[in-house]
Structures are given as structure tokens and as C-alpha cells.
Amino acid sequence: MQQHQLAEGNLPVFVFPTELVFYADEQSSHKQVLTLYNPYEFALKFKVLCTAPNKYTVVDSTGAVKPQCCVDIVIRHRDVRPCHYGAYDKFRLQVSEQSQRKALGRKEVTATLRPSASQEPSSARSQDEERRIKEQFADSEFFEQTAFQTESRPVAGGPSLLTVLLGLVCMIALMLPTLGEQESTVPVYLHLSVNKKLVAAYVLGLLTMVILRT
């Protein structure tokens, strides 16, 4: 399975957050942090590309992530002039195996500069604007940036006790008999409907994704 994924270059890349918002009037927001996770059993090397490299300083634009570790990539906006308000840029994180050059996977993160947090749009962007942004990025050219490197750090902590307990409850719910089954030694009041089992399966899937990212 792993070799198949590597050959096709479809390796999932885990990055948080997936959108960066800078505010011109808030100095503290001019520095943002992207965290790149490596949940795999093998080391990865990464490279950060950007559609507007002159507007940003990227620390750790290239480097390596040890298995079961993560790295923080610091991004600073260095041109907060009004002419850049509302402009959308994009970062692309490419990962590959240590011994290979070909990218195994990639993840793209949007970045935008706004005048102030108090001037956040009250409603979501229109469909026309969303389409315009997607079309703009479809033909975007990404450029490399020079940066410093730091060592990767182990992923801190793990799934909370509440997450684990909720996962166990969902698993138990899926193992209980379905409502209407006759040949069962389990009391009838413990029989669950199909809808309840579907909800349990959905929640269990969400919890699995959360655990993989912790």
C-alpha cells in the first residue's frame, strides 16, 4: 500500500492551518506559523513554495521531518501596504522521501492580508469570488524561497482521554445488535437503530482523523 502511494505521488500531507490571515494594524498577526505533521513511519523532506515570495519571509522553507514528528514553519508578512489588502496568495508544501526528488504529495495554503480584524466580512465570499480565486490559482506559478532550517520536534501530547472514551463508546455501539434482530442474547433496550449506528460510525471516523493529527 505504501509503495503504491509513493509511486503515484498521492501521499496525504497534513498541515495546519490551511488558511493564513494577516491584519495590517496588528503587528502580532504579521507572524504566522504553519505546522507540518509527519504521521508516517519514514522520514520526509519538505519544500515551501509561494506565488508571491517577495511579500513574505519563510523560515524553514526546506527541511526534514522525522517519523512521528512535526515542524513549525514561520511565515512573516513583510509588505502590509494598502495596495495588498484583499489580495490572495498561496503557499505550496511539497513533501518527498529523503532519497528521492519526486514529490510524493503536496498541500496548498491560502494567505490574505486584511486592513483590520474589526473589518472582517460579515458574510462568506460570493460564489463568483470563490470561482475567481480558484481560476486565478489554477494558473499560479510557485517560487522557491531561501530560509533557515531547524530540527523537527516530536508531536506533543496525544489524544485526550475524552476522545479515547468517546471512540470506545462508538465502537461498542457499532458492535451492539441492530434493532429488529431476533436471535440475540443482548437485551432489547440495547439494540440500536441503523441511523444511530450510522451516527456512531461517522463520529468514529472524525475521531480517527483527530487522533492521527495529534
Ranges of CATH 2.60.40.10 domains, the chain: 14-115
pLDDT, position 192: 79
Buried b (16+ CB within 10 A) or exposed e, 87-106: ebbbbbbbbbbeeeeebbbb
Residue that has been written with the C-alpha cell 479515547 in this structure: 164
- pTM comes to 0.57
pLDDT, position 64: 93
pLDDT in tens, 34-51: 999 999 989 999 999 999
Q: Which residues pair with 109 in a beta bridge?
A: 91
How many CA atoms lie less than 13 Å away from 180 in the CB half-sphere? 2
Least confident of 60-64, 90-94, 145-149: 145-149
Q: Which residue has the higher pLDDT, 137 or 9?
A: 9
Say yes or no to pLDDT of 5 above 50.
no
Percentage of the residues of the chain whose pLDDT score is greater than 90:
40
pLDDT, position 124: 45
Q: Does domain 14-115 have CATH number 3.30.300.30?
A: no
Report strand pairing: 105-114 vs 19-23: parallel
